[in-house]
Structure 1
Amino acid sequence: MPSVDVIVGNPVLNIAVFGVFVLFTLAVVVRTGRGNRTAADYYTGGQVFTGGQNGIALAGDYLSAAAFLGVAGQVAVFGYDGVMFAIGSLMGWVVALLFVAEPLRNTGRYTMGDVLSYRMRARPVRAAAAASTLLVSLFYLVAQVAGAGGLIALLVGIPGEDRVGQSVVIAAVGAVMLSYVLIGGMRGTTWVQILKAGLLIVAGVVMSAWVLGRYAFNLSDLLGDAVEANPAGPALLTPGLEYGHTEMSKIDFMSLGLAGFLGPASLPHILMRFYTVPDARAARRSLVWAIWLVGAFFGLVIVIGFGAAALVSPEAILAAPGGSNAAAPLLAYRLGGELLLGLVAAIAFATILAVVAGLTITASASFAHDVYANLIKRGRAEPAREVRIARWTAVMVGVLAIGGGILANGQNVAVLIGVAFAVAASANFPALIYTVFWRRFNTTGALASMWGGMGTALVLVVLSPEVSGSPTSMLPGLDFAWFPLANPGIVSLPVSFVLGAVGTWIGGHRDPDAARTHAEMEVRALTGANVVPTATPAPGGASNTFDG
């Protein structure tokens, strides 16, 4: 087996291909971002995208470093357990289609806070929604930036032990990402998402067909070689290689699956995409497109992962910069040499850039719209000033993401995304479901569910083995891992649901208009009647009006 340094290929050619690709996507951002004059332009792209276009962009938002680099690495190293992670994440889109997409589009304007505050006291609920959005976006951003750092380190040949060199690379990634956001807004980012989703799927088709072609399209032979190359042998194709060592690890896998199942319906940057289309029907069509595209791509990534296991070997993958995240790029080099490696790495990097740009827009929009415009200015903010606040927030979020990406460098991004899913689902999913479907749900319940779920998930993450207590932790020199699970979802999600119910029972007498505003919201959520929001507060403190 060649050494990792040889497998990296020609750094000059890799960077040249990568540079051309980034310049091209930046040109797209500049051209499409010229019309960003209002808050609606910056946050939602003017709601001009069709269901098909937004569906491709949704798939692009989700097909990130976790989907391409992380899942391929999980499959290559851990086989069956990595496949189950991919399938569980796909099923989460069905939850979003059935329960979230249309009600969210019909009752909101820019952010999740618009929906949650529709029938609640606006100020405290918007504060909780903004805090949740910023926290989840940061978790997700850290994973993406860390994946990008490992990828570029592989391209330029920076060894895994060179933490300073990889930190510089991560900072450069963050700077390019910020340029996407500040110049293009949601419109420019959406077109980059559409472009890179198409290219990513084409790259997946080419690599998976190339792998299968080497085995005469006999999947059984491919799996046989993957088993022979893996030190675990036949255990690669059975459950438990990563999560089956102990009973606790099995519970951890269940927790990861639960987070992956409910995460897509809770991620702020996914939820915000429903506002870029003109109506709820287009939002539903967007999700149908996204489900087909994401499902097809995960099938391709599974083939790519087993191809990397058979043709590269887990030892070479784990020894490369970025660890298991390097499986797909290393396979590209093995199949097509330096040119294919450069193309695949450039597409993967553009994938990461587009995703982090969407996340940064979501975080900045939530702060500018929910906190600045509606809490500080009480709905009387100047649109131009609101957009400036959003851009400054994007810069601060980007700086924090770079710092977190440096700490998380070398972690498997799929696992980090699983943690982000758990925090998002714990903070947002119970509150969204209760708001739309439970008549008695009130402000006290919403605050208890959101702050309690978010706080529980965050504390458990900090006390988990992902942060300290093992050689693969973010802080390997420290040990305060008192919580035994890497993913907190199996604990924090039930806690959030229970706290929402208990808070509603305790605070029922404080929201006498809760039943009436729920009836108004139900009509709007299900029919789309009078979906044009205004800045005039509705009964109960919401920032939307209902004229039905």
Structure 2
Amino acid sequence: MSSVAPLHPAALPDAVVLLSAATTEDAGEHRGLIITLFAVFVAATLGITIWAARQTKDATDFYAGGRSFSGFQNGLAISGDYMSAASFLGIAGAIALFGYDGFLYSIGFLVAWLVALLLVAEPLRNSGRFTMADVLAFRMRQRPVRTAAGTSTIIVSIFYLLAQMVGAGTLVALLLGVEGEGAQRLVVVLVGALMVLYVAVGGMKGTTWVQIVKAVLLIAGTLLITILVLNRFGWNISRLLSEAADASGHGAAFLEPGLRYGATATTQLDFLSLGIALVLGTAGLPHILVRFYTVPTARAARTSVLWAIGIIGAFYLMTIALGFGAAALVGPETITESNAAGNTAAPLLAQEVGGGVGSTGGAVLLAVISAVAFATILAVVAGLTLASSASFAHDLWANVIRRGKAGEREEVLAAKLAAVAIGAVAIVLSIFAGRLNAAALVALAFAVAASANLPTLLYSLFWKRFNTRGAVFSIYGGLASSVLLVVFSPVVSGKETALIPGMDFAWFPLENPGIVSIPLGFLLGLVGTLLGRDDEAEAKYSEMEVRSLTGAGAH
């Protein structure tokens, strides 16, 4: 899978390859426009953050935005959390190079939300307060499950953060004409500082409104390019697909399954593994799960997921026009010359439909896309930082280290300090992560979420016998198996695009471990539970079941 956006485009370094040589030159000629758009967005979001800080008075405000967001508002925020600029860039590039097989990414992302809607949204909103660990700790021993869940949350979030931060630094450095390794590192530090500021000052309210603004910008930018592409083909989708197939060099095979994933049994199995991880991992992602606590009722939680499905579905449908439009108007050769993974397909297409290289229209569209990509990075990293810092403060500090004796003010202070510390770790690691392979980060984040978080959530909500030992086995077992399989996969060694290209210790043939680690996570949860009984956990199951279904006694 080295020739497409690696694994999950939503976690790619969001715009590492946004600019080809042509777009870099164009950016240089219109640097003022780009800087102005960046400045406007940063000023607007900082204004939102300062306003939100004045509205944040207690832990509920900081962690859950006071549970004051409507279903529609939270649906937009969820969409902002989920749709990254790399979805915009990576999926468009995958479609432009591999046609039908590239669009399979979009299908996996959208189907994943049905799992979140049907299994997680309502019972999670009713059963917890601020974090995933609240659900587990309701009927199990606090310290072991909160420690395990907090560890898993922080690890998933940091791997996502690394990918986003690397992309943020590169994007801003290229657009602003920053040269030299030292200057680019300074850009990473400044972007990271802005990210920490959003979380530490604005909390969940500030972060949510930034995500809402970002979602609107991304949908608007995608819609604009989609309209321009369809207009070029007389609003005839058949003509668009036909010309894309002709330009691809693959003919009718471009519009049929198998161009990318049908070559060998290994690639087919790898795609199956990826699909499983995407569909199941989404419902276990920490920064997605915490969004269900920001609404006042379980009904609003369901409504927010329905809105998210509609918004995300519309976005991914528009990527069809972007991907096939890039194939038809730009051409695969030009795209791969710019970037072998195809991640520059969307900006090259925007430049083309805007008037071409050197034109004012092309420069404007490039600047708009760049600003949207930057907005996306800030929104995503803010959400991830908030989820991990909340888990540290609420789960590890307040309930494990302080054993429930920490007051709200102390807990919020711990969360703010944790946001600074986690942001600092992400900044430092990002500075030295120039050769970091996004596929490794993606595989780990989704595999851990699907292998460790989701099994424990589902078992806890729907299995009376499930106990503390089962939860600990599932979380740590899913975490360990995911990490080990990725370490010994082609993502880390054994090929030119690997994290360590000069070595080969890849005995696991798949790039995504989901097909092994996810069943293992469920199995370990089962085995751990059967190895011991927990009468207290079983006794409290009925109470939890009533709460998860009705909301009685929640919050």
TM-score by length of 1: 0.90
- Counterpart residue type for residue 20 of structure 2: V
Counterpart in 2 of 1:430? 455
CA distance in 2, matches of 1:216, 1:414: 38
Distance 1:376 1:319 in 2: 53
The answer to whether the 8 Å contact 1:325/1:413 transfers is no
| More displaced 10-residue stretch of structure 1: 306-315 or 44-53 | 306-315
Partner of 1:4: 20
**Contact 1:419–1:461 (CA under 8 A) maintained in structure 2:** yes
Indicate yes or no: 2:426 matched with 1:401: yes
Report how far residue 21 of structure 1 moved. 1.8
* Deviations 1:314-345, CA, capped at 9 Å, x for gaps: 34434447953332222222222111111121
Residue 372 (structure 2) aligned to one of 341, 347, 350: 347
Specify the code of the residue in structure 1 equivalent to 2:484. Answer: V
Partner of 1:181: 199
Q: Does 1:377 align with 2:402?
A: yes
**Partners of 1:478 and 1:26 in 2: how far apart?**
45
Unpaired runs of at least 5, structure 1: 533-548
Alpha-carbon distance in structure 2 between the residues aligned to 1:308 and 1:153: 25
Match of 2:117 in 1: 97
2:27 aligned partner, one-letter code = N
Equivalent position SS for 2:547: helix
Is the 1:311–1:334 Cα contact (8 Å) retained in structure 2?
A: yes
Structure-2 separation of matches of 1:216 and 1:45: 46
Moved more, 73-82 or 53-62: 73-82
SS at structure 1 position matched to 2:526:
helix
1:451 equivalenced with 2:451 (yes/no): no
Segment drifting more, 181-190 vs 486-495: 181-190
Post-superposition CA distance 1:336-382 (Å, at most 9, x none): 21111111210121012111101100000001110000001111113
Unaligned 5+ residue runs, structure 2? 1-18, 355-361
Aligned-residue CA RMSD (Å): 2.4
Structure 2 residue aligned with 1:544: none
Work out whether 1:73 is the aligned partner of 2:93.
yes
Moved more, 127-136 or 216-225: 216-225
Cα deviation, 1:158-211, whole Å, max 9, x if unaligned, reads 79xx87665554444323222222221110011111111112111111111111
**From 225, 228, 244, the counterpart of 2:262:** 244
Alignment deviations for residues 458-509 of structure 1 (CA, whole Å, 9 cap, x no partner): 111222222233222233334332321111110100001111111111012x
Question: Residue in 1 aligned with 2:305?
Answer: 287
Deviates more, 1:329-338 or 1:359-368: 329-338
User: Cα distance 1:93–1:36, how it changes in 2: closer, same or farther (>3 A)?
Assistant: same
Contact 1:322 1:409 in 2 (8 A): no
**Mapped pair 1:305 → 2:305:** no
The answer to whether the 8 Å contact 1:70/1:324 transfers is yes
Which of 14, 28, 35 does residue 34 from structure 2 map onto?
14
> In the alignment, which residue of structure 2 is the partner of 1:34?
54
Q: State the one-letter code of the partner of 1:59.
A: S
The 8 Å contact of residues 440 and 492 in structure 2, kept in 1 or not, is answered as no
Alignment of 1:148-547 (within 5 A): 148-156=168-176, 167-230=185-248, 232-320=250-338, 324-336=342-354, 337-405=362-430, 416-417=441-442, 419-508=444-533, 511-532=534-555
| CA distance in structure 1 between the aligned counterparts of 2:133 and 2:396, rounded to whole angstroms | 10
Q: Do structure 1's residue 88 and structure 2's residue 111 form an aligned pair?
A: no
- Provide the residue aligned with 1:536 in structure 2: none
Q: Is the 8 A contact 2:169 2:187 kept in 1?
A: yes
Aligned equivalents of 2:34 and 2:61: distance in 1?
A: 35
Aligned equivalents of 1:67, 1:455: Cα separation in 2: 28
- Quick one: percent identity of the two aligned structures? 55
**TM-score, normalising length: structure 2:** 0.89
Distance 1:165 1:311 in 2: 36
User: What one-letter code is carried by the residue in structure 1 that aligns with 2:554?
Assistant: V
User: Alignment length, in residue pairs?
Assistant: 526
1:133 deviates by 0.4
Per the alignment, do residues 177 and 257 of structure 1 end up closer, same or farther by CA in structure 2, a change over 3 Å counting? same
- Partners of 1:321 and 1:163 in 2: CA distance: 21
Residues 447 and 42 of structure 1: CA distance in aligned 2, closer, same or farther (over 3 Å): same
**Structure 1 residue 524, shift from structure 2 partner:** 0.5
Which residue pairs with 1:540 in the alignment? none
Q: Measure the CA separation in 2 of the matches of 1:331 and 1:158.
A: 25
Give the secondary structure class of the aligned counterpart of 2:344.
helix
